[in-house]
Amino acid sequence: MEENTRRICKRCLLRDLAEEDQKDLSKYLAAIKEPDRAPEKQYEERLLVCRECDLLTEATCLACGCYVEIRAYAKAARCPKKKW
């Protein structure tokens, strides 16, 4: 019997995972139109906050259920806990 050795990466973003586990991240990011995207600096700052947040689990925000990389990419998006 094969033992399940999959580990949960609490602070991981999708970009940290193997390509086959990235859930079409680039496709979802590309679907957000250029004018609606957060500037690169703001995007990375948002993700740094998420990495420090206890609600981040396996790239997902437990407060809203979103992949944080996709949520943070939209300029108008807000953190559900008002952290960014």
Helix (DSSP H) and strand (DSSP E) numbers for the chain: 3, 2
Interface ranges with ligand SF4 (CB under 6 A): 49-50, 53, 55-56, 61, 63, 68, 79-81, 83
Q: What is the closest distance, in whole angstroms, from the C-beta atom of residue 73 to ligand SF4 in the complex? A: 12
Between residues 3 and 59, which has the closer beta carbon with respect to ligand SF4?
59
Neighbouring residues of 31: CB distance < 8 A, sequence distance ≥ 6 = none
Between residues 38 and 68, which has the closer beta carbon with respect to ligand SF4?
68
Length of the chain: 84
Q: Which of 36, 38, 41, 84 lies closest to 61 in space, CA to CA?
A: 84
Q: What is the closest distance, in whole angstroms, from the C-beta atom of residue 71 to ligand SF4 in the complex? A: 6
Q: What is the closest distance, in whole angstroms, from the C-beta atom of residue 1 to ligand SF4 in the complex? A: 36
